[in-house]
A and B are shown apart, each in its own frame.
Chain A
Amino acid sequence: QQPVQSPQAVILREGEDAVINCSSSKALYSVHWYRQKHGEAPVFLMILLKGGEQKGHDKISASFNEKKQQSSLYLTASQLSYSGTYFCGTDKSGNTPLVFGKGTRLSVIA
């Protein structure tokens, strides 16, 4: 079942922060986050494994609450280069195909 992402779209000014959420109705083993620029392939950002870990990548970090089956992606002090569509992909057992949400379109303006 497809995870639900929110918000669907967000517009930020440079330097502002944003949070993108990903929720599943099923128990999860891991959550993967990707960013896709227009006309390009999705690019891997990070993986969150069950255990509630939090990871960071430059000024982008994420958390995973396995009890709530939710993950959140945090973008701090956004840059123009952060613009794109962010997808979460959920994995229920560690060896199953990822199921992706519909994406969150992030636009960062000067």
Chain B
Amino acid sequence: QSVLTQPPSVSGAPGQRVTISCTGSSSNIGAGYDVHWYQQLPGTAPKLLIFGNNNRPSGVPDQFSGSKSGTSASLAITGLQTEDEADYYCQSYDSSLRGVFGGGTKLTVL
């Protein structure tokens, strides 16, 4: 039971668009704290994908985008490729708990 709620899994066909939601509360996302996203490929460490709600670090393709509204945020992935199969985590700051993560979403490319 993570502080931030994500769907356990999403799937899509190659070339399609998928979104992953991240729902928080008034003490984290709803309090105005930024949401960040990480991609974890199988057997590897997490990698920063989106920071500050909708900013991509250098080297991250523009097929990945983020948004935030109210107590929720979303990660969108367009033009799905098999190499996008990974676990995706959202992260924010909580005024009581400090660092908080979502439970993670497993993306399957059909």
Partners in one complex: no
Chain A contacts to B: CB under 8 angstroms: none
Interface set of B (CB-CB < 8 Å, partner A):
none
